[in-house]
Structures are given as structure tokens and as C-alpha cells.
């Protein structure tokens, strides 16, 4: 890729979490930018976030607004770093004043994956035995799987990807549900036993894409990022998903799932809101021009709210506030 914008020589500091996956993603962004702008210097600066430090409590119980992003955002606002690379699914839909989502990279497979203990080799999610222990830290995955497979046992699992895989291989779980994209980025794609179809598990908002966040007043850098690494189709899909989530005021630890498809100029967005026990689930689909992505997300949120989504979310928020 050749340089598409003119920018004065400068050192650009990239913020990243310290996890292996975060660093793989950040170094990929660094390499793409360095190829496009050899006259610039791109440095990676790492930080630990609250979500990296608290590993013995379920995500839903510690709150998730900025759980994996707040420290990086403070670094940008304090001008310690110039932009941050996030897994887009971790980035709240409401950003702090002074920061902006500058670019969204091309999406990897956004689906969820079934990863099995070796004793279940050859099985798929619908052929696992009754009482199989399924590990997930996501209420979204938990709610959908409980809806379809109430005969499984579910157990929270935290830690980085290597830690989770070690727990699975040690026999603490029969299976884990993880993001296909994360496994593939860490060279563990061979551990995917089944890519879960959307009929079973709609993926998280933004899953599989990287979100580049920077200061809103750094127009030179925003232009550089948009013109060099942003992927327009992924951007439109993710903006629709994020508008849907934003309108429902749900964080990443609320059982909200999505699926988006772009065909030509048209975008199709499907979304669900589910109760944590999987008993109640509302689902619908909207379609329209991709240029109206955010309006489509808002439209779908309103449709689901009419079908009972707000009552489901209110109950979840009440339980979270009570710490139950």
C-alpha cells in the first residue's frame, strides 16, 4: 500500500493492552502503517487495564464500561499515546469527550467457535453429552446456548487465551466457546472444532474487527488512519451493530447478539436480546442501504424494544446492580 496522505515526519505512539492477542493485533496495525508511511515512526506502548488485572471475578459482576479500554483512553487524553488499538467488541459505544473512533479494520470471521477437550474429538455442540461443562465468560454466549441447550452445565472462564486453553486441556471444562478471530490471530485456528452457526449464536457487536481510537482534535492522524487501514464494508457493518447496541444501552456483558451482511449497497442486520437463563429471547432483522447503517441499527433496537427487549434488559440490569 502506498502513502495516501501527506503528513509531516513525526513519531506516532500506539497504545495497546499487554495481552498476547492485543499485541498481535497492535503489531499488525503498526506493520500496515509502517509500510504505508515509511517516513514516520510508529512505537507501541503497552498498558494494563482493569479487565487484565481482575481475573477471579465474572466480567458481568465487575461492570464492563471501559473495562479493557479506560487506561488507554486516559493515556490518549493525557497525550502519552496518540491512538489505541482495541478489539472493537471491547470498545464502549459511548466514547469519552475528546476521543473518536477513527477507523475500523477489515473484519476477520466474527463467529463464535466451539473448542473441545480431546475426549470429545469429533463431536459438535449438538452431540455433546447431557451435563457437559461449557466454559464462557460472555453472558451473550451463555444466554443463547442456554436457550438452545438447557441440558449443559455452564461455568465462567477468565484469563488470556492460553490460560483458558490450558484449563480446557486439563479437564476443567468439556468445551469452551471462544471467538474464531482470536484463535486464528494467535495461530490456534486448528483448535476450532465447529464454527457455531448464527442460528445458535449471534456474535458480539464488533467481534472480529479492530477499532482504532484517537483524540478528536488530531485531524491529521484521523485522516491517515481512515485512508490507510479502514475497511468501508466492515465499518458500515460495525456502525450498524454499535448503533443497535448503543440504543439499547447494553454493554458487552449484556446478552445482545448481532449478525450483519452487506450485499452490494444493501446491509442486512439481525439482532437478538436474551435473558441470561435463555428462557426469553427476541430476535428480528432489518435491511436497507449501507450508507444508512446507524439508522438501521437504531431501527432494529426500536423493533426489539416493542417485542419485549427492554423488559429483558431491565431485569438483567436490576440483577447486576444487586450483585446477583
Kindly state whether residues 130 and 160 are assigned to the same domain: yes
Residue 202 lies in a domain: no
Supply φ then ψ for residue 234, to 5 degrees: -65, -40
Kindly state whether residues 245 and 158 are assigned to the same domain: no
Kindly state whether residues 278 and 324 are assigned to the same domain: yes
Distance CA 70, CA 178 (A): 24
How many CB atoms lie under 10 A from the CB of residue 157? 21
Report the CATH number that the domain containing residue 291 is assigned in CATH: 3.30.160.40
Kindly state whether residues 259 and 116 are assigned to the same domain: no
pLDDT in tens, 291-315: 999 999 999 999 999 999 999 998 8
Residue 200 lies in a domain: no
Residue 204 lies in a domain: no
Residue 47 reports pLDDT greater than 90:
no
Listed residue (161, 172, 189) closest to 55, CA to CA: 161
Among the listed residues 52, 56, 64, 90, the single catalytic one is: 90
pLDDT of residue 49: 60
Residue 176 lies in a domain: yes
Residue 205 lies in a domain: no
**DSSP tag of 118:** G
Kindly state whether residues 182 and 311 are assigned to the same domain: no
Residue 63 reports pLDDT greater than 70:
no
Residue 223 reports pLDDT greater than 70:
yes
pLDDT of residue 62: 40
Kindly state whether residues 90 and 153 are assigned to the same domain: no
Residue 15 lies in a domain: yes
Distances (CA, A) of 282 to 141, 176, 299: 15, 25, 15
Query: What is the CA angle 210-13-64, rounded to 5?
Result: 45
Kindly state whether residues 17 and 78 are assigned to the same domain: yes
Contact 312, 277 (CB under 8 A): no
pLDDT of residue 6: 64
Is 112 annotated as catalytic? no
Domain count, the chain: 3
Kindly state whether residues 70 and 168 are assigned to the same domain: no
pLDDT of residue 253: 67
pLDDT of residue 197: 96
Mean pLDDT of the region 158-182: 94
Does this model's pTM top 0.75? Answer: yes
Residue 316 lies in a domain: yes
Report the CATH number that the domain containing residue 94 is assigned in CATH: 3.40.190.10
Give 76's Cβ-side CA count (13 Å radius). Answer: 26
Kindly state whether residues 12 and 55 are assigned to the same domain: yes
Whole-number average pLDDT of the chain? 90
What are 106's three cell numbers? 477489515
Residue 264 lies in a domain: yes
Kindly state whether residues 189 and 257 are assigned to the same domain: no
37 is in which domain, residue-wise? 1-105+210-230
Kindly state whether residues 81 and 9 are assigned to the same domain: yes
Kindly state whether residues 62 and 130 are assigned to the same domain: no
Distance CA 4, CA 37 (A): 9
pLDDT in tens, 244-296: 999 997 665 689 999 999 999 999 999 999 999 999 999 999 999 999 999 99
Amino acid at each position: 500500500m502506498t502513502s495516501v496522505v501527506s503528513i509531516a515526519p513525526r513519531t506516532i505512539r500506539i497504545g495497546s493492552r499487554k495481552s498476547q492477542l492485543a499485541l498481535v493485533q497492535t503489531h499488525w496495525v503498526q506493520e500496515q502503517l509502517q509500510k504505508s508511511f515509511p517516513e514516520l515512526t510508529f512505537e507501541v506502548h503497552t498498558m494494563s487495564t482493569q479487565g487484565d488485572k481482575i481475573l477471579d471475578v465474572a466480567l458481568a459482576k465487575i461492570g464492563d464500561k471501559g473495562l479493557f479500554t479506560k487506561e488507554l483512553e486516559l493515556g490518549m487524553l493525557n497525550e502519552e499515546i496518540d491512538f489505541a488499538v482495541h478489539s472493537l467488541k471491547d470498545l464502549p459505544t459511548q466514547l469519552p469527550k475528546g476521543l473518536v473512533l477513527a477507523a475500523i479494520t477489515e473484519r476477520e470471521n466474527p463467529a463464535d467457535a466451539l473448542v473441545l477437550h480431546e475426549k470429545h474429538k469429533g463431536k459438535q455442540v449438538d452431540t455433546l453429552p447431557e451435563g457437559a461443562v461449557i466454559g464462557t465468560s460472555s453472558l451473550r454466549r451463555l444466554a443463547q446456548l442456554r436457550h438452545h441447550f438447557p441440558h449443559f452445565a455452564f461455568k465462567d472462564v477468565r484469563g488470556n487465551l492460553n490460560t483458558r486453553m490450558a484449563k480446557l486441556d486439563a479437564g476443567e471444562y468439556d468445551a469452551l466457546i471462544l471467538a474464531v478471530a482470536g484463535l486464528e490471530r494467535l495461530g490456534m485456528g486448528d483448535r476450532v472444532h465447529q464454527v457455531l452457526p448464527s442460528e445458535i449464536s449471534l456474535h458480539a457487536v464488533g467481534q472480529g474487527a479492530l477499532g482504532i481510537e484517537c483524540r478528536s482534535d488530531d485531524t491529521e492522524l484521523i485522516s491517515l488512519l481512515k485512508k490507510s487501514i479502514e475497511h468501508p464494508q466492515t465499518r458500515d457493518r460495525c456502525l450498524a451493530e454499535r448503533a443497535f447496541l448503543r440504543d439499547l444501552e447494553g454493554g458487552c456483558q449484556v446478552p445482545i447478539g448481532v449478525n450483519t451482511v452487506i450485499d452490494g449497497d444493501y446491509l442486512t442486520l439481525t439482532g437478538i436480546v436474551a435473558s441470561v437463563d435463555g428462557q426469553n429471547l427476541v430476535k428480528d432483522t432489518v435491511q436497507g442501504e449501507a450508507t444508512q447503517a446507524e439508522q438501521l441499527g437504531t431501527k432494529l433496537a426500536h423493533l426489539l424494544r416493542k417485542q419485549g427487549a427492554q423488559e429483558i434488559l431491565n431485569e438483567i440490569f436490576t440483577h447486576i446492580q444487586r450483585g446477583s
